[in-house]
């Protein structure tokens, strides 16, 4: 391991960046260095700009993917190398604002029915029932399920924050049936080596179930989180409560679900209905 890479790892550890973020940053800095065949400490703003153009024009990466690379380079030059030049000279890509895909309750049921293995059906139902990210549901421990308080403890979610979410009575029944069948001792959903089941495995299971369900809308583990938020909002849950349940830092992030909550839209009266209109003349 190079001295620069080691120092960057230490800087990220000092700032308590998650292991996943650390690996992504190291990956993108290494890719940047390979692209130019030089150590990053020998490169500067002009090379960064050319690399961003390469990611856009030749690699065709999405704005979100490009921004991960940009954040990695910003960290490297601002923190590890302590470069005096304005970090804003490494601009972030403007992301498209797209509304999330949301299934109806009937479509969610249809999707769950297409999952053949009890373990993965229970895992994905848990993700929907509590609005969990795939990284959160795969790392649940048996001890995180509190049937007395009817809560689930989410440890070190996004942003390295703990939070509590509700434990549905119906989900508790499913989890008890699952526990009697599989007897997990530590991780709630372990792989075959007593480690948490891999996120990629869950994504593959989700894709297979989606194909088997015949649903036209795409379904990923994160789709279930979108469904959780939208269905709660449609049922009357206030935004502040929803923000806490989802673990969002900003209420603005949570507020985007108001754009996909159909009953809220359907119950809003169009100004057309208030116009004193004369009958439309027939042609």
Q: Which residues are catalytic?
A: 133, 158, 222, 225, 248, 257
Which letter does DSSP use for residue 268 in this model?
Answer: S
The Cα–Cα gap between 182 and 125 comes to 16
The Cα–Cα gap between 272 and 252 comes to 30
CB neighbour list of residue 10: distance below 8 Å, 6 or more residues apart: none
C-beta atoms surrounding 3 within 10 Å: 9
C-beta atoms surrounding 6 within 10 Å: 10
Which letter does DSSP use for residue 151 in this model?
Answer: E
The Cα–Cα gap between 237 and 231 comes to 9
Sheet with 145-146: list strands edge to edge.
145-146, 151-157, 161-166
> What are 187's two structure tokens?
């991780």
The Cα–Cα gap between 6 and 12 comes to 10
Coil vs helix vs strand at 18:
coil
């Amino acid at each position: 391991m190079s001295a620069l890479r080691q120092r960057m790892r230490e800087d990220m550890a000092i700032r308590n960046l998650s292991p996943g973020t650390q690996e992504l940053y190291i990956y993108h800095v290494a890719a940047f260095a390979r692209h130019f065949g030089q150590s990053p400490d020998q490169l500067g703003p002009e090379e960064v700009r050319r690399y961003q153009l390469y990611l856009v024009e030749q690699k065709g990466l999405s704005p979100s993917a490009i921004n991960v690379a940009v954040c990695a380079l910003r960290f490297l030059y601002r923190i590890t190398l302590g470069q005096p030049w304005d970090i804003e000279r490494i601009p972030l890509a403007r992301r498209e604002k797209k509304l999330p895909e949301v299934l109806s309750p009937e479509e969610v049921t249809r999707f769950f029915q297409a999952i053949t293995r009890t373990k993965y059906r229970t895992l994905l139902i848990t993700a929907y029932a509590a609005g969990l990210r795939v990284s959160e549901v795969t790392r649940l421990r048996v001890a995180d399920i509190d049937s007395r308080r009817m809560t689930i403890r989410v440890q070190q979610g996004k942003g390295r924050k703990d939070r509590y979410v509700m434990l549905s009575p119906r989900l508790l029944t499913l989890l008890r049936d699952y526990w009697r069948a599989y007897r997990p001792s530590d991780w709630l959903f372990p792989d075959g080596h007593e480690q948490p089941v891999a996120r990629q495995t869950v994504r593959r299971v989700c894709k297979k179930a989606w194909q088997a369900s015949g649903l036209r809308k795409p379904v990923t583990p994160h789709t279930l989180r979108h469904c959780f938020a939208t269905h709660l909002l449609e049922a009357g849950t206030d935004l502040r409560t929803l923000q806490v349940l989802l673990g969002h830092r900003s209420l603005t992030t949570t507020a985007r679900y108001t754009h996909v909550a159909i009953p809220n839209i359907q119950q809003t009266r169009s100004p057309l209905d208030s116009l004193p209109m004369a009958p439309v003349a027939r042609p």
